[in-house]
Structure 1
Amino acid sequence: MTATEWTAETAGSGRYADVNGVNLYYETYGTGSPMVLLHGGLGSGEMFGPIIPILADHHQVILVDLQGHGRTADVDRPLDIRLMADDVAALIDHLGLRKPAVVGYSLGGGVALQVAIRHPEKVGRLVAASAHVSRDAIYPEMLQQQGQVSGAAAEFMKETPMYELYQRVAPHPEHFPRLLDKIGEAMAQDFDLSEDVRGLQVPTLVVAADADMAPPSHYVEVFKLLDGGLRDGGWQGEARPKGGHALAILPGLTHYDIFLSPLFAAVTLAFLDQES
């Protein structure tokens, strides 16, 4: 994967919003019903460059750079998906959006889940891609790798698209080691969102690659928390999950390329454009 794959061919309309104590950067693409799109850890909204035109052909896409990522400067607080969810909820209010879809990948998927958990009245539909809901769901070797993420690793990441992107767009490029420290600290925290997910009031699409950071069985279990995969769906779909939830395991993809895939864009659009 090259850094250029993480760059949108056409720039959106970029602005800053002072919300919840963060000067949050966002770009707007397209027209139609709004979709807030949230990137993965150590990335920015630009990660979605290849699929933005597909999404923006159907929706107004609001591409957010989360705290400490991309063009949004860090603030003096941990990288906590609950706090970042409150940032996104405040941005939704700031922009006057009425129940937009919230779509997130990886870290952004965790933030998207928290927006729907903490602020269900602000969200129309939710897409959470490659977002495991408990720390112990991911493979042991991944937990070990995550344990090695800290500012000390900055030198070893200079050839990565994450580093290139940060150096190019961050307000303070010299803060990359600090971002690694905060990401490492966040990933070291144990968590289990199962009960929160079980209580989701927003129609939710759970998306994962067939070779993701957690096994496909984990995402099936998440779907079960949402009343899915428990019975035959019926001829007319009458026995599908009561909350309008859905599951997509995308073939031939991994945690590291699913966000670039037209297949991800296609299933997202198909879910968002369903009748409620």
Structure 2
Amino acid sequence: MTTTERAGDATGTGRYAEVNGINLYYETHGSGRPMILLHGGLGSGEMFGPILPALADHHQVIAVDLQGHGRTADIDRPLDVPLMADDIAALIDHLGLDRPDLVGFSLGGGVALLTAIRHPDKVGRVVSASANIRRSAIYPDMLGQQGQVNAAAAEFMKDTPMYELYQRVAPRPQDFPRLLDKIGEAMQHDFDYTEEVRGLQVPTLIVAADADMAPPSHFVEIFSLLDGGQRDGGWMGDGRPKGGHALAILPGLTHYNIVDSPLFAATTLAFLDQQG
């Protein structure tokens, strides 16, 4: 067991859970209804530091370091979103949680969605931020940049926050080039979760910055797959999406600062704390 400090936050408790053959690190903050927090690629639970105090004021926040990220060492399998979703489902069982909410950003947003799709009976509500459901939705210039992510890029990343974080907390700091290779390979794989999202049974908030890695229209499209934007909502809200889904495009933000924003925290809490 470890303890860590966050700016403006009480000490958090860090532990490891052996699930699906991976030693998954998670850190617990606050109290209340459980919320599992899932970071973006090349990050860790520390990515949510600026908003963690606000979230932990209302919920028991369980910030997980996904496979090969942060304090969770890599294992011999691809960085695959469905596999990581199964890790989260196994963690829910391991911790004995009763349908916790999932909040994820970017890679973590995809993992949150896939966990709800594959294990709907284990999840309460989902907030999926800045997570596209088709590779082709990403702007072409960004796809080009993703194609350059590999071990050779490690030398050029030594001044970045991602590298500094990895060197500081990873069980094997020398594995950073390996992580770049695996995440670069993962980003080259085509994917399309349109049909899976269409059948999503868990109330889900789709969130994006207004200047995100994919255009706002893509996130509107995801919302439409969830019965959103099909009709007027009505005075009593009876025209809202049947599954309790919602959409938020947050103004003045990008893919790179959305999870630092108090607006993201407030939007997340407003959705999770709805009744019914």
Q: TM-score normalised to the size of structure 1?
A: 0.97
Q: Which amino acid aligns with 2:235?
A: W
The residue aligned with 2:236 is: 236
1:68 has 2:65 as partner: no
Indicate yes or no: 2:163 matched with 1:169.
Answer: no
| 2:47 equivalent in structure 1 | 47
For residues 91-134 of structure 1, what are the alpha-carbon distances to aligned partners after superposition, in whole Å with 9 as ceiling and x for unaligned?
A: 00010000000110000001001100110000000110000000
Q: Which residue of 2 is the match for residue 109 of structure 1?
A: 109
Match of 1:246 in 2: 246
204-213 vs 9-18, which moves further: 9-18
Q: Secondary structure at the match of 1:238?
A: coil
Q: Distance in 2 between matches of 1:194 and 1:233?
A: 24
Contact map agreement 1:132 1:218 (CA 8 A) in 2: yes
State the 1:230 CA deviation.
Answer: 1.0
Q: How much has 1:241 moved relative to structure 2?
A: 0.1
Amino acid in structure 2 at the alignment position of 1:95: L
Contact 1:205 1:247 in 2 (8 A): yes
Q: Is it true that 1:149 corresponds to 2:149 in the alignment?
A: yes
Number of residue equivalences? 270
Aligned twin of 2:265: 265
Q: Secondary structure of the residue that 2:224 maps to in structure 1?
A: helix
2:6 aligns to what?
8
SS of residue matched to 2:189: coil
Segments of 5+ residues of structure 1 without an aligned counterpart are 1-6
Q: Is the Cα–Cα contact under 8 Å of residues 73 and 170 in structure 1 kept in the other structure?
A: yes
Per-residue deviation, 1:8: 2.8
Q: What whole-Å deviation, never above 9, does each CA across 1:2-28 have from its counterpart, x for those lacking one?
A: xxxxx8324410000001110000000
1:92 aligns with 2:92: yes
Moved over 3 A (4+): none
Gaps of 5+ in 2: none
Q: Which residue does 1:208 correspond to in 2?
A: 208
Taking the aligned partners of 1:99 and 1:151, their CA distance within structure 2 comes to 38
CA distance in 1, matches of 2:47, 2:12: 13
Q: Which residue of 1 aligns with 2:138?
A: 138
* Contact 1:39/1:65 (<8 A) preserved: yes
Question: Per-residue displacement from partner, 1:173-230 (whole Å, max 9, x unpaired)?
Answer: 0000000000000000000001100000000000000000000000000000000011
What residue in structure 2 maps to residue 193 of structure 1?
Answer: 193
Looking at structure 2, the residues matched to 100 and 208 of structure 1 have their Cα atoms a distance apart, in angstroms, of: 22
Cα RMSD, aligned residues only: 0.8
Q: Is the 8 A contact 1:8 1:48 kept in 2?
A: no
The aligned counterpart of 1:217 is: 217
Q: Which amino acid aligns with 2:52?
A: I
CA contact (8 A) 1:37 1:64 kept: yes
Partners of 1:220 and 1:8 in 2: CA distance: 34
Residues 86 and 115 in structure 1, CA contact (< 8 A), matched pair in contact too: yes
Matched, 1:29 2:35: no
Q: Distance in 2 between matches of 1:8 and 1:48?
A: 10
Q: Distance in 1 between matches of 2:257 and 2:96?
A: 32
Secondary structure in 1 aligned to 2:228? coil
**Cα separation, 1, equivalents of 2:82 and 2:45:** 19
2:163 partner letter: Y
Secondary structure at the residue paired with 2:6? coil
3-state SS in 1 of match to 2:236? coil
Name the % identity. Answer: 78
